[in-house]
Structure 1
Amino acid sequence: MAIRDAGDQPAAGIYGLSIETEPMEAKLAKALPSGEGWQYEPKWDGFRCIAFRSDSSVDLRAKSGKPLGRYFPEVVALLADLPTPNFVIDGELVIEVEGKLSFDALQMRLHPAESRVRKLSRETPSRFIAFDMLVDTDGMPILDKELAYRRARLEDFRERIEADPAYLTVSPATKNLREADAWLSRSGGDTDGVVCKRIDEPYRPGERAMMKVKRLRTADCVVGGFRYERDSELVGSLLLGLYNDDGLLDHVGFTSAIADIEKPELTARLESLKGGPGFTGKAPGGPSRWTTDRSSDWKPLRPELVVEVKFDQITGCRFRHGTKLLRWRPDKKPSQCDFRQIGL
């Protein structure tokens, strides 16, 4: 069987659905919504992915719209071998290492060498956790159908294909608030919160039409600039930005939680991006009041890097305190980092 994956030219679309369809996203909420009409699901710690299958053609797309097939050949092969030739499903790519999901293992897949990717795919195979269906097995787009209908078709799909659940499964879901609250209280390992969806709503590509509740408040931010450490040629802090409603990148804070061992390589990476526009909205001023251990000027960058940071409070559309750098997000498009994800 000839399999087309993300290394080939993308198709214009499948079943009238663009191959670059953006996934429906969630906005951050402080608490789980209660009342009738809600479905709750674990928020998995992986790479968001929409998987397209049409006859022998398979395509995996990241949240950013970038192709993922060449980095996850085992998933491409798995989907190509399923007995049903038509479907589009939305879900999460995860990798389990020593019994726990590993985001680092996912990031290691984003490697230019095909031989390296193939080796990792054998040693640490990934799993696709599906949680929505956009095109059913009859090749009919069902985005305009309510979630209850799409979920039923997804579960029917999973029962009929008889795939190994170690590699393809459907995410648990519940309408019971108490059970969802228990998931939230246990999050922090394989999951980092709970996603809340209206069962009577259609699928809304590119919109923050769902809610997500986390134990920790986090945000994905664009690295719009950086400062050197005082009297040093190494990076001291990253300057963080979010896009406002006008499409301008506003400075919202900083993170200086960078391990010393990582600074030389990170400095070289940042310096290769110097000369960009930096912050096109609200820009940083001089040294922050929290610390003076860096130079007063900052270096603008091309807005290409995204990091996830932990924060506590927001005042005046800025992080009130310094943030903790949790991880880099090469799977996320910078333009997706806006104030809506933190409820502003």
Structure 2
Amino acid sequence: MIQSFLKPMLPTLSEELPLGENWLYEVKYDGFRCALYWDDTSILMTSRNGHHLHAIFPEVPLFLKPLEDNVKHLFPLLVDGELCILENPYKASFEEIQKRGRLKQSEKIAHAAKLFPSSFCAFDLLAVEGNYINQLSFLKRKEKLKNVLHLLNRNVNDILPASQINYIPCTVDKAEIEKTVKNYKSEGIVAKDVSNKWSPGIRTNKWIKVKNLKVHTFILLGYDTENGFFHVGVLKDSSLVFVGLFSHGISPKEKEALIQIVKQNQSGRSGSLILIEPSICIELSYLELYKNQLRQPRFLKFRLDADWEECTWESLLKNN
């Protein structure tokens, strides 16, 4: 008998997608990594850390249960995927899935499930008919997964935000998926080796993820001597507003030079934070704005050519 949960295999982060005929590409969704186990008695959904999700997102098992007769000859099933709240066919809402994940009371969960229903976005099949198939090639697993979704009356050619289960397709067309991800503001792309075998609990270079990062110029606001983070902001309604902090991406030499500039030009302190008058502009990459703050900001370069007064909230929103 198969287990209801395997620790997920994880992709390796890269700045560029691999090329070659042995690579296929999938849209990466921003949600909760989820293993879906289905047998004659239950439908269990488990997060990458082993926490049960089916009680928090009951609309998925409630949707699947009436379809049980279509696939019960394949039980037990174990499917790998991402539990999402889809804004469009190629982008999931990080904010809404986070809100849903924090709910505890059944009444609030039921209400949220109607307002912001989740979708299990299936991208891999790990077990069928009670047998693990994770050692089959990725292409063979993908084909078997497609057959399962067909039995559930899902059109595998369309991703429907309103559907509680979706099949995530793969493509050989790198240029086309890059265009799709950019246009729909997806989280990124995962490249997968067609021959790869699924190994639980490892980070593999057979799966490569590239994030769909945005780039913008920000005003340096200060440096925190306690945690080593630089604070950045933009100009909004003639006032400086904080939008995030960063420490990644900057070299030790650049960091030390920037610290000295902040100390030499400090305008005051707020606890461990050394403040500086607006003058220095920094170019950062980031994933998106979440609650008016940057997600995953990373230093790219100094922008000595930029005017800090042009680093505005309006330009940031247009960029997001």
TM-score normalised by the chain length of structure 1: 0.60
Rounded Cα–Cα distance in structure 1 between residues aligned with 2:226 and 2:18: 33
1:146-157 superposed matches below 5 A: 146-157=137-148
Rounded Cα–Cα distance in structure 1 between residues aligned with 2:169 and 2:50: 26
Q: Which residue of 2 aligns with 1:104?
A: 95
Q: Which residue of 2 aligns with 1:139?
A: 130
User: Secondary structure in 2 aligned to 1:31?
Assistant: coil
Q: Which amino acid aligns with 1:90?
A: D
Structure 1 residue 17 and structure 2 residue 17: aligned?
A: no
Q: Which residue of 1 aligns with 2:61?
A: 76
> Residues 23 and 63 of structure 1 are in contact (CA less than 8 Å); yes or no, is this contact kept in structure 2?
yes
| Distance change (3 Å), C-alpha of 1:23 and 1:256 | farther
Q: Which residue of 1 aligns with 2:298?
A: 311
Q: CA deviation at 1:94?
A: 1.7
Q: Which amino acid aligns with 2:298?
A: F
Q: Which amino acid aligns with 1:62?
A: S
Rounded Cα–Cα distance in structure 1 between residues aligned with 2:80 and 2:295: 22
Q: CA deviation at 1:103?
A: 2.1
Identical pairs, percent? 27
> Residues 216 and 310 of structure 1 are in contact (CA less than 8 Å); yes or no, is this contact kept in structure 2?
no
> Residues 22 and 193 of structure 2 are in contact (CA less than 8 Å); yes or no, is this contact kept in structure 1?
yes
> Residues 127 and 168 of structure 1 are in contact (CA less than 8 Å); yes or no, is this contact kept in structure 2?
yes
Number of positions where the alignment pairs a residue of Structure 1 with one of Structure 2: 240
Q: Which amino acid aligns with 1:17?
A: Q
Give the alignment's Cα RMSD to 1 decimal: 3.7
| Distance change (3 Å), C-alpha of 1:126 and 1:60 | same
> Residues 32 and 84 of structure 2 are in contact (CA less than 8 Å); yes or no, is this contact kept in structure 1?
yes
Structure 1 residue 207 and structure 2 residue 202: aligned?
A: yes
Equivalent residue in structure 1 for 2:271, among 283, 295, 305 = 295
Deviations 1:191-238 (A, max 9, x none): 2111001010101222222111123189xxxxxxxxxx99xxxxx979
> Residues 188 and 209 of structure 2 are in contact (CA less than 8 Å); yes or no, is this contact kept in structure 1?
yes
TM-score normalised by the chain length of structure 2: 0.64
> Residues 28 and 187 of structure 2 are in contact (CA less than 8 Å); yes or no, is this contact kept in structure 1?
yes
Equivalent residue in structure 1 for 2:79, among 89, 114, 123 = 89
1:1-344 superposed matches below 5 A: 15-17=1-3, 19=5, 21-83=6-68, 84-85=71-72, 86=75, 87-96=77-86, 101-109=92-100, 110-136=102-128, 138-163=129-154, 166-186=163-183, 188=185, 191-209=186-204, 210-216=207-213, 253=229, 293-296=269-272, 308-313=295-300
Q: Which amino acid aligns with 2:40?
A: D
Which segment drifts farther, 198-207 or 170-179?
170-179
Larger helix fraction of residues: 2
> Residues 238 and 256 of structure 1 are in contact (CA less than 8 Å); yes or no, is this contact kept in structure 2?
no
Rounded Cα–Cα distance in structure 2 between residues aligned with 1:25 and 1:213: 13
Rounded Cα–Cα distance in structure 2 between residues aligned with 1:144 and 1:238: 49
Q: CA deviation at 1:92?
A: 1.4
Q: CA deviation at 1:25?
A: 1.2
Structure 2: stretches of 5+ with no match in the other structure: 216-220, 234-241, 243-255, 274-293, 302-320
User: Secondary structure in 2 aligned to 1:108?
Assistant: helix
Q: Which amino acid aligns with 1:199?
A: V
> Residues 97 and 124 of structure 1 are in contact (CA less than 8 Å); yes or no, is this contact kept in structure 2?
no
> Residues 134 and 143 of structure 1 are in contact (CA less than 8 Å); yes or no, is this contact kept in structure 2?
yes
User: Secondary structure in 2 aligned to 1:135?
Assistant: strand
> Residues 40 and 174 of structure 1 are in contact (CA less than 8 Å); yes or no, is this contact kept in structure 2?
yes
User: Secondary structure in 2 aligned to 1:69?
Assistant: coil
Q: CA deviation at 1:18?
A: 5.4
Rounded Cα–Cα distance in structure 2 between residues aligned with 1:98 and 1:25: 24
Moved >6 Å (runs of 4+): 236-240
Rounded Cα–Cα distance in structure 2 between residues aligned with 1:49 and 1:294: 42
**Max Rg structure:** 2
| Distance change (3 Å), C-alpha of 1:217 and 1:197 | farther
Q: Which amino acid aligns with 1:206?
A: G
Rounded Cα–Cα distance in structure 2 between residues aligned with 1:134 and 1:81: 23
User: Secondary structure in 2 aligned to 1:121?
Assistant: helix
Structure 1: stretches of 5+ with no match in the other structure: 1-14, 219-228, 231-235, 241-250, 258-262, 264-284, 298-306, 315-344
Rounded Cα–Cα distance in structure 1 between residues aligned with 2:149 and 2:179: 26
Rounded Cα–Cα distance in structure 2 between residues aligned with 1:98 and 1:27: 26
